[in-house]
Amino acid sequence: MKSSVLALTVAILSTAEVNCFSPLSSRAISSHALSSRHLSSRIIHHPSRTSTIRSTTTMSMSTADSNPPSTGEECNVDAPDCADMKSSTFNLIKACVGSGVLSLSSGVAAFGDTSSAIIPASILMSLLGTLSAYSFYSIGKMCEETKSMSISEAWGKTVGEDSTWLISLACFLTPLGAALSYSIILADVFTALAATVGLTLSRPASIIGMSSFVLYPLCSLKSLSALAPVSILGVVGILVTAIFMGVRAFGSAYSPGGALASTLAPALTPAFNKVGVNLLQPSSLILVSMAATAYLSHFNAPDFYNQLMEPTPKRFKVLTGMGFTATAILSVLMMSFGFLTFGSASSGIILNNYSTGDIGATVCRLLMGIAIIGTYPFVFSGMRNAFFQLVKKGKEVKDSESRTATQVMLASVTGLALILKNAGFIVSFNGALMGSAIIYIFPPLMFLKSTSDRIKSGVLKANKKVKLERFFNKVLIALGCVFAVAGGGVTILDSFFPHLL
């Protein structure tokens, strides 16, 4: 059984790795980048040394110069690039799966410490993946109906222009959470790497040094196209990490008496079968919140629709189904591998559990560290541009203003990273608030307003199917509100006041 699971994992990941070197995928930025490249409104530099923020919130799938499609098949004429079904599916998987999956094991540990906890956790992840896929498809379909190129444009045409600031706010807060979690992960990764080679590097020194000498210069670049190839390293890092985690889960290195078990700190030592499983306790909402981050690629839905060759709702539905199914499988596998190795001791970032003397873990940390450094400027750029959209509202932004904003924002993120040490908390909290809004609230609101207007105008008939789907979208909104309020609250309690749960 163990060998067949590993064989299946390697087969799935090998297929993805082959596809990752297609021309289109090499230009897409790895997901959690998630929150970043999805949100990339471009900064246009003028000879007068000033910059203008494009007013539309266009989330481009590509970051380098685009090449014209050679197949002759048609996509949306306004889209800068076209992608076939195979490339689009892989890019969708890459847009979802990122460093956020490294937190899922701790989400399982929040409500159980027996191996059987994987069963309800996997069912929950599959269910949430299905709901996320529906809302992703709903956004693409809404863009087709309204002839929109971005989620903010679709929102303006359905819900109203006066409230598009909500989308801009989401475009700011989502990458803010991602940037903060990246800073925390980088601190953990390079502190562990230093320990591996016998050096002592404090966490504050790691964070401040990384922000000052690496991240600030990269975030100050006017063009980020040179960093696009790093997305391939991000994909490779996830694939290698998944295979490594699978090998360790079905091996004995971290079992009692194993070669590496004795090298772990007590808090990181595998722990099982002490409290059992209780999916009904509030702490299970932590996994729900983390799942929102793991499946969050919804700002990219308009791009995936408009850049799909022969874009139709039917073909987009196929793309959504394949992409989210593969994402769910990979997420469940990595979640399971981490939890089956460490149980209730699973950290907010599972790589922290593995010994600094574990060569495989060292390779994974190095790959993930480099990938996050290359992805960070895209995340940061999305946050900064969304900030100027909120504040300047399309007005001209000077270079000095952009530079000051970069310094203040990066200093703020760095300061928060010095205080908050658990990246899993950030992933869960960001998922609870922004993930819930973007997945469960915004798309249903657009759908309900659009169908209501079309029913009133006589364009759409209020038959049983339409009424049922409208009811389902109302349920999604209610779920989103519960997940946001309860999930966010439980995440805070679990991280800072665990005795209250």
Q: Please say whether the beta carbons of 326 and 86 come within 8 A.
A: no
pLDDT in tens for each of the 501 residues of the chain? 444 444 434 343 333 333 333 333 333 333 333 333 343 333 333 333 333 333 333 333 333 333 333 333 456 545 456 788 988 888 888 888 877 899 999 999 999 999 999 999 999 999 999 999 999 999 999 999 999 988 989 999 999 999 999 998 998 999 999 999 999 999 999 999 999 999 989 999 999 999 999 999 999 988 877 777 776 777 788 889 999 999 999 999 999 999 999 999 999 999 999 989 988 889 999 999 999 988 988 988 998 998 898 889 999 999 999 999 999 999 999 999 999 999 999 999 999 999 999 999 999 999 989 888 988 998 899 899 889 988 887 788 898 999 999 999 999 999 999 999 888 899 999 999 999 999 999 999 999 999 999 999 999 999 999 999 999 999 999 999 999 999 999 999 988 888 887
Q: CA-CA distance, 22 to 234, in Å (whole number)? A: 15
Write the burial class of residue 289 (CB in 10 Å: 0-12 exposed, 13-18 middle, 19+ buried). Answer: buried
Q: CA-CA distance, 333 to 241, in Å (whole number)? A: 11
Residue 138 in tokens:
């709903």
Q: CA-CA distance, 12 to 326, in Å (whole number)? A: 9
Q: CA-CA distance, 111 to 497, in Å (whole number)? A: 16
Q: CA-CA distance, 458 to 461, in Å (whole number)? A: 7
**What is the predicted pLDDT for the residue at 342?**
97
Q: Give the sheet arrangement for strand 396-398, strand by strand.
A: 43-45, 50-53, 396-398
Q: CA-CA distance, 35 to 170, in Å (whole number)? A: 10
Q: Please say whether the beta carbons of 494 and 487 come within 8 A.
A: no
**What is the predicted pLDDT for the residue at 396?**
87
| 66-69 own/partner pairs: CB under 8 Å, 24+ apart | 66/27, 67/23, 69/309
Encode burial over 420-434: b for 16+ CB neighbours within 10 A, e otherwise: bebbbbbbbbbbbbb
Count how many residues are written for the chain: 501
Q: CA-CA distance, 44 to 42, in Å (whole number)? A: 6
pTM, 2 dp: 0.80
Q: CA-CA distance, 415 to 394, in Å (whole number)? A: 29
**What is the predicted pLDDT for the residue at 231?**
66
Q: Please say whether the beta carbons of 135 and 440 come within 8 A.
A: yes
Helix residue spans in 271-358 (DSSP H) = 284-294, 301-306, 313-342
Residue 193 in tokens:
């790497």
308: helix, strand or coil: strand
Phi, psi angles (nearest 5°) of residue 270: -50, 135
Write the burial class of residue 489 (CB in 10 Å: 0-12 exposed, 13-18 middle, 19+ buried). Answer: middle
Q: For residue 52, list its beta bridge partners.
A: 44, 396
In which residue are the tokens 């959504």 written?
320
Helix residue spans in 393-463 (DSSP H) = 399-419, 423-430, 436, 442-457
**What is the predicted pLDDT for the residue at 75?**
63
Q: For residue 53, list its beta bridge partners.
A: 43
Encode burial over 445-477: b for 16+ CB neighbours within 10 A, e otherwise: bbbbbbbeeeeeeeeeeeeeeeeebbeebeebb
Q: CA-CA distance, 96 to 414, in Å (whole number)? A: 25
In which residue are the tokens 């409230």 written?
163
254: helix, strand or coil: coil
Q: Please say whether the beta carbons of 182 and 349 come within 8 A.
A: no
Q: From residue 489, give the alpha-carbon distance in Å to each of 152, 317, 357, 433.
A: 28, 34, 37, 10
Q: Please say whether the beta carbons of 310 and 147 come within 8 A.
A: no
Name 167's Cβ contacts closer than 8 Å, sequence gap at least 6: 57, 151, 152, 155, 442
**What is the predicted pLDDT for the residue at 185?**
93
Q: Please say whether the beta carbons of 34 and 231 come within 8 A.
A: no
Q: HSE-up of 151 (CA within 13 Å, CB side)?
A: 33
Q: CA-CA distance, 313 to 136, in Å (whole number)? A: 12
**What is the predicted pLDDT for the residue at 68?**
39
Q: CA-CA distance, 137 to 436, in Å (whole number)? A: 16
Q: CA-CA distance, 85 to 71, in Å (whole number)? A: 12
